[in-house]
Amino acid sequence: MISYRNLEETQLTRLSEIDRTESIRVGFEVAGGKLVEKDVDWDVPNFVQDGEGEHSIARQIEFCRSHLARNAVAIGAFDNEMLVGIGILTPNIRPGMAQLAYLHVSAAWRRMGIASAITRQLLQHARAQGLKRAYISATPSESAVGFYQSFGFDLVEEPLPELYELEPEDIHMVLELDAP
């Protein structure tokens, strides 16, 4: 049985328990203001356990800490006591706008509703804070884009410049947060 609870900064070292491996064969890009599907051959490796490179556990912890320092909320999904999913929502990246800054579910636990449960909790948290919009810079994969579209996220007309600069190939989307 999966349980969900808020994660504290001191628990971020548990990110090493997440297996992010994935084989992606359908991706997206934005052309002319529209999503365009394309065949891809992306094999995403697991996080690097040692070092401080871009996909290292150390870099992931640093990224998550930077969001928690900006009053973000982190929710972890646990199978018994093993961390199998995490999501982070950072409020007020713009007035009234939150950012779904981070979402990972371990490979063996995908397609079990864990990412949906985490996302629902994070969006509810944003609504409870009176935020009106949620922004995501999504991996340009069919699974990620389709997942966010299932929540009602739509392609933004103008990506936030600072997030676009960090991830220009991502699919930048926004959700209008209605009442719960």
Assigned token pair, 28? 């997206």
Question: What percentage of residues in the chain have a pLDDT greater than 90?
Answer: 96
pLDDT score of 166 more than 80: yes
Distances (CA, A) of 7 to 64, 79, 81: 11, 14, 13
Residue type, 126: A
Distances (CA, A) of 56 to 8, 63, 133: 20, 11, 31
pTM of the model as a whole:
0.95
Residue ranges per domain, the chain? 2-176
Whether residue 2 contacts residue 114, with contact meaning beta carbons closer than 8 Å, is answered with yes
What pLDDT is stored for residue 19 in this prediction? Answer: 97
pLDDT score of 53 more than 60: yes
In angstroms, the CA 8 to CA 75 distance is 9
pLDDT score of 180 more than 80: no
Burial of residue 115, with CB atoms counted within 10 A of its CB: 0-12 exposed, 13-18 middle, 19 or more buried: buried
Query: Which of 3.40.630.30, 3.40.50.300, 3.30.530.20, 3.30.565.10 would CATH assign to domain 2-176?
Result: 3.40.630.30
